[in-house]
Structure 1
Amino acid sequence: MSRVVPFLFSLAASLLDASLRRRAPPSQLVPKPMAAARTRSFVLWLHGLGDSGPANEPISTFFSAPEFRLTKWAFPSAPDSPVSCNHGAVMPSWFDIHELPMSAGSPQHESGVLKAVENVHAVIDKEVADGIHPENIFVCGFSQGGALTLASVLLYPKTLGGGAVFSGWVPFGSSITERISPKARKTPIMWSHGIADKVVLFEAGQAGPPFLQNAGLNCEFKAYPDLGHSISKEELYSLESWIRNRLKASQQREN
């Protein structure tokens, strides 16, 4: 049994400065009903083990470019569940984790992952039904949320704007590639991982790009030499630029 780890997530200390503590007005995080029809894009953020959605809402303050003016954000919280790597302790968890630190060969709880994917897809489907084009929808996540992000975008039947994985891992075996649709293979993936990560080892992140390449997907992978199991401002600024460029391209196609 792995050592007890109370939280799999950790925001870097730099995220605790004044710029991150500024909360976006509620209307920016969840558009009011009258503004919902004007929403042009959607960003879904999936937190790490033991964390919560509201605790991550300040992340949206990094996205102030004009392209995000009509963006709707969602920060859901995982249900409370017993977690094996923490000796069955109950905490917010998208699916069960058998051991920590997570390595490239760690056992995976595939059935739990697939159940969590269904819930993410339901969120995406609702936004599509409300009029947001799938290619303007982005799923992002940290650690356990990053693993769920990867699974969710790979198994969604349509091409999405992108999936961004931070300090995550591949949460299932190669046989899952048979379920990836041709449209899903066109969804771009951004992957960021700290080389100094002691919770989700860098080798677990490194296994992502080859897996995706074999599945026929493109992946932009970036390593951060001095970063542990946390998110840096640099990573978030890179994410802002990555999504913004895709929204600009989408708007140009529409025009």
Structure 2
Amino acid sequence: MKLMVFVKPIALLAVTLSGTILFILLSHRNQSSTSGEPDSMARSFILWLHGLGDSGPANEPIKNLFTSPEFRNTIWSFPSAPSNPVTCNYGAVMPSWFDIHEIPVTADSPKDERSLLKAVQNVHKMIDKEIAAGTNPNNVFVCGFSQGGALTLASVLLYPKTLGGGAVFSGWVPFNASRTEQFPPEAKRTPILWSHGMADRTVLFEAGQAGPPFVEQVGVTCEFKAYPKLEHSINNEELRYLESWIKARLQSSS
């Protein structure tokens, strides 16, 4: 059944992610720094967008993995998607940022831009609120897994300012080629990190692999990392690299 095809990867994600978090928390338990030096890091913001059927609170332990001193002044946000009927699951109502028409997602899967753009507007409101609170846009990072990764891509490339970066995990391009004409020049300067498992059967590897060339042709810088044997989940290697990738782009208050 098509419904079970997606429910199963969600369950696998919960198990895999929980195991990853436990492993990294144990391995990093004694690595926190408590330096007495003056804090030169400016306020930063990391927005994490979960996948279909998941929730924000379920992903909050991710923030405990970022133990480098550079993240002392980081504000994290883990919003939950509203409950909506999802076409690929026969209209079943579940947490969903926008509608998905088919699973597995391929490079040629149909795009529901109407519901996508509504979700993008909500993400932009979250970013606007944080910038209004004093965070430099260059220290704003949007990250997301699966459906949240697709929303991450659309959100940063349609935002009217250059952000610190956008990180897409097991995501896809959720808009049509014509939408690239609406990318603001400032948004094209936001770097993208794209990670995808080569054994992914929910969002096929071909869908992820097609993303970087698609955005690079309009001038967006995109780093693509493929993970052999990784299915539709996030592993500790991806999260460790994400920490270093964001850390390299954080700006100090000086």
Tell me which residue corresponds to 2:95.
92
Tell me which residue corresponds to 2:146.
143
Tell me which residue corresponds to 1:173.
176
Q: 206-215 or 219-228, which moves further after superposition?
A: 206-215
The match for 2:121 among 118, 123, 126 is 118
Rounded to whole Å, the distance in 2 between the matches of 1:3 and 1:142 is: 19
Shift of 1:214: 1.2
SS for the counterpart of 1:103 is coil
- Indicate how the Cα distance of structure 1 residues 20 and 113 shifts in structure 2: closer, same or farther if over 3 A, else same: farther
Tell me which residue corresponds to 1:191.
194
Tell me which residue corresponds to 2:67.
64
Rounded to whole Å, the distance in 2 between the matches of 1:60 and 1:125 is: 21
The match for 2:226 among 223, 226, 229 is 223
Q: Deviations over 1:97-147 (max 9, x none)?
A: 000000000011111100000000000000010110101000000000000
Rounded to whole Å, the distance in 1 between the matches of 2:156 and 2:121 is: 11
**Is the contact made by 2:53 and 2:94 (CA closer than 8 Å) also made in structure 1?**
yes
Tell me which residue corresponds to 1:164.
167
Is residue 103 of structure 2 the alignment partner of residue 109 of structure 1?
no
For residue 84 of structure 1, what is the amino acid of its counterpart? T
Is residue 248 of structure 2 the alignment partner of residue 245 of structure 1?
yes
- Indicate how the Cα distance of structure 1 residues 20 and 108 shifts in structure 2: closer, same or farther if over 3 A, else same: farther
Rounded to whole Å, the distance in 1 between the matches of 2:44 and 2:8 is: 31
Tell me which residue corresponds to 2:237.
234
Shift of 1:6: 2.1
Shift of 1:44: 0.1
Tell me which residue corresponds to 1:80.
83
Shift of 1:148: 0.1
SS for the counterpart of 2:107 is coil
TM-score scaled by length of structure 1 = 0.88
**Is the contact made by 1:63 and 1:240 (CA closer than 8 Å) also made in structure 2?**
yes
For residue 101 of structure 1, what is the amino acid of its counterpart? P
Rounded to whole Å, the distance in 2 between the matches of 1:135 and 1:225 is: 32
TM-score scaled by length of structure 2 = 0.89
Tell me which residue corresponds to 1:134.
137
| Same amino acid, percent of matched pairs | 64
Note the aligned Cα RMSD (angstroms): 2.0
For residue 133 of structure 1, what is the amino acid of its counterpart? N
Shift of 1:17: 2.5
Shift of 1:216: 0.9
For residue 6 of structure 1, what is the amino acid of its counterpart? V
**Is the contact made by 1:158 and 1:183 (CA closer than 8 Å) also made in structure 2?**
yes
For residue 231 of structure 1, what is the amino acid of its counterpart? I
Tell me which residue corresponds to 1:211.
214
Tell me which residue corresponds to 1:51.
54
- Indicate how the Cα distance of structure 1 residues 7 and 46 shifts in structure 2: closer, same or farther if over 3 A, else same: farther
The match for 2:20 among 15, 22, 27 is 15
Shift of 1:194: 0.2
Rounded to whole Å, the distance in 1 between the matches of 2:170 and 2:72 is: 28
Rounded to whole Å, the distance in 2 between the matches of 1:203 and 1:137 is: 29
Tell me which residue corresponds to 2:38.
none
Tell me which residue corresponds to 1:6.
7
- Indicate how the Cα distance of structure 1 residues 46 and 7 shifts in structure 2: closer, same or farther if over 3 A, else same: farther
Rounded to whole Å, the distance in 1 between the matches of 2:239 and 2:163 is: 20
Structure 1 unaligned segments of length 5 or more: list them. 23-37
Shift of 1:75: 0.2
The runs of at least 4 consecutive aligned structure 1 residues that moved more than 6 Å come to none
**Is the contact made by 2:21 and 2:61 (CA closer than 8 Å) also made in structure 1?**
no
For residue 17 of structure 1, what is the amino acid of its counterpart? L
